[in-house]
Structure 1
């Protein structure tokens, strides 16, 4: 009894493993057992296994009716699963979209037997493409409106959907990468993408053509809730399409199938009536001869994802194998160019270091030269220091003489004390001049402090009061704006005013008797928002040289001059980041024959910013 059970179990296991089916046949009173060969057909299940079974099982039933000696078994797959089945040769035939058909056909040994005829396009095979679906109330009406938004798609490998729309965007000049910058791949079934759109998880969904219409016809979606962007379906096509149409699904065989069986299956497919249940379930008008995949090859080439496209380095290696002599030439050329490049880099680096060192030496020598020039100037100043100390010394002499006169006249100490105070002030001023020159020699910055320019001008005029009166020069002062203190070198400012007043007074007394008017100097101060403008105007002979020449060290037009007055003025103005100009005053004089123009004085303008 146990032996019989073991035999039964062995037979059961054998029938489960072998791809055959047993059935009994009554013939001439005898019964016999025939074995049917199992034929495995893999199909791309875009909407899930159940939908694939309902769509393609009638086709397999039709094949069994035409080829009763075979048992056709359907295997629904995803994109990755179907590719793996073809690679591992676990299926005999496949039914898939044209995109995957070309992708697999360029990598594995497949033979195309037939192409499905579409009911949507009036009996042609062109029915695959993409539809970009959005919600009806949304504000998206063009591809540009949707670009960068959250978009649902099945997969990067989905031909009727992601790939065809990507190619269409590139074809119309749009940027596919920017358009799909926020894409979400939801995978199979395709229905998920539209459900995500319905639930507002995404702003748009890329689905195969007729997917929306199919779900609407099945009562899964409300047609008024959705619309397709950029519809370009041809006349008579019953679905909306956002891209061009491509060939329909294809039926192919693998190397597992003999050419005899392939021919039999092909004839059975081509003989399928258009009104047969198998054709209706497949949403087709039957099958026809396989169409050319050229248009799909071009699409994949444009998207740079064609399976036969090699990376540039692989193409380069293949070329090198066939052209080794040129390869070695280019290698040698690259080595020589790199060597030359490194040589240039080395020379440039060395030259740069030398240049930096030379620049450093030049800066040091320039600093030494400038210092030597300052020392030279100060050396000349040492012999002519009286030019700057003359005024305070003269004032001290005058105040001393006046004090002695008052003492001789018997004035009291209280009356004489103010004179000695003024003498003390001039001694301090002379000391400050000496200290300023010493700072210039030692390259120390000049000390600035808050000063009242009006008070400094008044003090300077007191020093020149006796000399100006003796030379018959009158002084006028004008002020514009609210006077305010500013950061100045007080000794330098007084030297500036003193030199300009002395030059103005000299110019006034240098005119001839015929030309001479009453000698007059006007001092104007204008306190603006950002700067002080000091103008000293005279009615003397004016300038007989340009400003640059007059400002040169040791250049003078005076018989006993040293040529340092304007140099000191320029140094002060530069130290205070100001501006110093000298301008002639031109006046018109009328004669009996013509009108002539002559010089009638000079204006010295000093602009000092408030700092």
Structure 2
């Protein structure tokens, strides 16, 4: 508040001491028609009162140096200043370099002088950004405020958001999405510091020296705030988070005459360093205009330069100049789109045909598997007949014995063991028929939790008579703790049946040895392994060739057995390998993932 009171007192003193102001205050006093009113627009970054206190002494200096003129201040915001220049309602403007470039590239402006900074011997570089945080906050670098809210005066404020935005972009940080929110509060700048002090935001983006000015005016305490990423040059009296750019500029609009502009330029350059007007503006007076190329480069880097048009405007300009190429481009786009739709249509048609072909192929594969199973049953006819004939013969014997006992007058209690034996043999015959039906029936592949050792035992029972006839010894063993595994029971049974039957054929072809087939089932933590080893003649061809469809080493073979086995293993996401044994014969190893009951329940929960 002390700073504002000083400003108001200064304005009142100036207002009472200046004869021009006194003439305005008294409507009865006649005005001098020879006095020329000169309108000067001022960018009021800290509000109208602070702008008048800073720049009115300079107006008084110009009044004293240029006879018959009165320079009148007009404090403006950014938008108001742009409107004043556009409508030529002011003769001169005093603004920061960012707005001076923006306006100078769009409207008729002539640069007369650049304000000299009171630091580093009066350099013309004094504009930049200071990223301010509370002294008690934990942040040490700007990068620490990612996802935090900050405040700034405007998205287009040069000595604030824009200079910091360029600095962050060159450091590989996009400020647009870096902070959780950027509160553009507008003028006066003092309000941003107060919002930071009160905890409304975590950081404030201010012009260079704004913090120091408020401390000097007694509005805030220096120890309550810190500036992050300070890179101020040695001897510069303010902290800055960015590089420094040219200071404020004094420019002539198209409204002011050239003769007056020359007088103003001479008066500005003649202002002594220690004059009250220079001190009020926090400067060492004025110097010749400094090149603003660096500011043009900043706006170009941010894609904000007035001479930079949006891409669609550039495209329209190009089309107007090159209409023939434009029409050719339009035709090309239309043709490419039509070609794209044609390709998409053909792709959809081909996809439908492919799906139909795949469905037909799957159906034919199922038919081949069914035909192969039927063929196996035909080959095992003698074994099947033997299996069924045994329970039938037993039933006949038990029935005859029962009749004999009835004829002899035995009681019903004597007949009970006979009837139970008959029932047992009927059950046995029924199980044999069910196994055959399950093997022969054509049905879709369905995976269920199955008892793997039981499936292997059932398969070996089907081959029992055949193995006895050929005098092939079959040994079945189980390692690990058996558990229910998710498989296709029919496909798995066909897999075991084909491999064991091939082993029997290989064993009987080698007469020098006693035929032996070892079937081993190993339950492991993540998988199960089925090993079928024989002591036959071994592989007659490479394993890949034997597993291909319609290749067979047998004179009457169809070449489907091992091909179907490979498909069954692949459908279970397993691996089938075939190798010759060092001791003679062949070993077939099948590795299947152990999708057991526990995993099935977990999959059900997930689904």
1:340 Cα deviation after fit: 2.9
Q: Which residue of 2 aligns with 1:336?
A: 331
Aligned partner of residue 112 in structure 1, secondary structure: strand
CA distance in 2, matches of 1:447, 1:237: 81
> Structure 1's 452 and 288: CA in aligned 2 closer, same or farther, altered over 3 A?
closer
1:355 Cα deviation after fit: 1.4
2:346 pairs with 1:351: yes
* CA displacement, residues 285-336 of structure 1 (integer Å, 9 cap, x when unaligned): 3333333333322222222222233333333444444x4xxx2332232233
Q: Which residue of 2 aligns with 1:12?
A: none
> Structure 1's 586 and 343: CA in aligned 2 closer, same or farther, altered over 3 A?
same
CA distance in 2, matches of 1:114, 1:495: 98
Q: Which residue of 2 aligns with 1:28?
A: none
Q: Which residue of 2 aligns with 1:390?
A: 385
Q: Which residue of 2 aligns with 1:184?
A: 183
Contact 2:491 2:568 in 1 (8 A): no
More displaced stretch, 399-408 vs 39-48: 399-408
Show the 5 A alignment for 1:121-520.
121-179=120-178, 182-321=181-320, 323=321, 327-363=322-358, 365-366=360-361, 369-370=364-365, 373=368, 377=372, 386-396=381-391, 399=394, 420-421=422-423, 423-432=425-434, 435-436=437-438, 439-440=441-442, 443=443, 453=453, 457=457, 464=464, 468=468, 480-482=479-481, 512=511, 515=512
> Structure 1's 22 and 455: CA in aligned 2 closer, same or farther, altered over 3 A?
closer
Show the 5 A alignment for 1:573-584.
577=572
> Structure 1's 477 and 42: CA in aligned 2 closer, same or farther, altered over 3 A?
closer
Show the 5 A alignment for 1:553-592.
570=565, 577=572, 585-587=581-583
Q: Which residue of 2 aligns with 1:77?
A: 76
> Structure 1's 466 and 287: CA in aligned 2 closer, same or farther, altered over 3 A?
closer
CA distance in 1, matches of 2:314, 2:466: 101
1:551 Cα deviation after fit: 10
1:218 Cα deviation after fit: 1.9
Instruction: Normalising by structure 2, report the TM-score.
Output: 0.74
> Structure 1's 53 and 555: CA in aligned 2 closer, same or farther, altered over 3 A?
closer
CA distance in 2, matches of 1:171, 1:331: 37
Instruction: Normalising by structure 1, report the TM-score.
Output: 0.74
- Give the unaligned 5+ runs of structure 1: 1-14, 24-32, 588-598
> Structure 1's 536 and 407: CA in aligned 2 closer, same or farther, altered over 3 A?
farther
CA distance in 1, matches of 2:130, 2:225: 11
Aligned partner of residue 241 in structure 1, secondary structure: coil
CA distance in 2, matches of 1:260, 1:499: 111
1:54 Cα deviation after fit: 2.1
1:140 Cα deviation after fit: 2.5
* CA displacement, residues 487-520 of structure 1 (integer Å, 9 cap, x when unaligned): 89999999988888888778777765xx456x76
Aligned partner of residue 75 in structure 1, secondary structure: strand
> Structure 1's 444 and 493: CA in aligned 2 closer, same or farther, altered over 3 A?
closer
Aligned partner of residue 233 in structure 2, secondary structure: coil
1:419 Cα deviation after fit: 6.0
CA distance in 1, matches of 2:360, 2:522: 42
* CA displacement, residues 498-548 of structure 1 (integer Å, 9 cap, x when unaligned): 888888778777765xx456x766665555557776666666666667777
CA distance in 2, matches of 1:579, 1:292: 77
CA distance in 1, matches of 2:426, 2:472: 27
CA distance in 2, matches of 1:568, 1:576: 12
CA distance in 1, matches of 2:293, 2:560: 94
> Structure 1's 16 and 88: CA in aligned 2 closer, same or farther, altered over 3 A?
farther
CA distance in 2, matches of 1:271, 1:580: 99
Q: Which residue of 2 aligns with 1:46?
A: 45
1:201 Cα deviation after fit: 2.3
Contact 1:439 1:446 in 2 (8 A): no
Q: Which residue of 1 aligns with 2:15?
A: none
> Structure 1's 123 and 382: CA in aligned 2 closer, same or farther, altered over 3 A?
closer
- Give the unaligned 5+ runs of structure 2: 1-22, 409-413, 598-607
Q: Which residue of 1 aligns with 2:30?
A: 22
CA distance in 2, matches of 1:365, 1:260: 96
CA distance in 2, matches of 1:153, 1:553: 79
CA distance in 2, matches of 1:551, 1:67: 107
1:69 Cα deviation after fit: 2.0
> Structure 1's 302 and 536: CA in aligned 2 closer, same or farther, altered over 3 A?
closer
1:48 Cα deviation after fit: 2.0
* CA displacement, residues 110-145 of structure 1 (integer Å, 9 cap, x when unaligned): 333333333223133322222222223333233322
> Structure 1's 388 and 581: CA in aligned 2 closer, same or farther, altered over 3 A?
farther
CA distance in 1, matches of 2:301, 2:493: 83
CA distance in 2, matches of 1:268, 1:492: 104
Aligned partner of residue 284 in structure 1, secondary structure: coil
> Structure 1's 17 and 341: CA in aligned 2 closer, same or farther, altered over 3 A?
farther
More displaced stretch, 443-452 vs 89-98: 443-452
Contact 2:459 2:496 in 1 (8 A): no
Q: Which residue of 2 aligns with 1:112?
A: 111
* CA displacement, residues 70-122 of structure 1 (integer Å, 9 cap, x when unaligned): 23322222222222222223322222222222222222223333333332231
CA distance in 2, matches of 1:552, 1:111: 90
More displaced stretch, 134-143 vs 569-578: 569-578
> Structure 1's 398 and 567: CA in aligned 2 closer, same or farther, altered over 3 A?
farther
* CA displacement, residues 437-488 of structure 1 (integer Å, 9 cap, x when unaligned): 6623xx36689897694698499769959994x9877776655445667789
Q: Which residue of 2 aligns with 1:590?
A: none
More displaced stretch, 444-453 vs 68-77: 444-453
Show the 5 A alignment for 1:84-103.
84-103=83-102
CA distance in 2, matches of 1:458, 1:358: 42
> Structure 1's 366 and 405: CA in aligned 2 closer, same or farther, altered over 3 A?
same
CA distance in 2, matches of 1:466, 1:413: 36
1:404 Cα deviation after fit: 9.6
> Structure 1's 21 and 108: CA in aligned 2 closer, same or farther, altered over 3 A?
farther
Aligned partner of residue 22 in structure 1, secondary structure: coil
> Structure 1's 70 and 150: CA in aligned 2 closer, same or farther, altered over 3 A?
same
CA distance in 1, matches of 2:102, 2:303: 12
Bigger CA radius of gyration:
1
**Equivalent residues, number:** 564
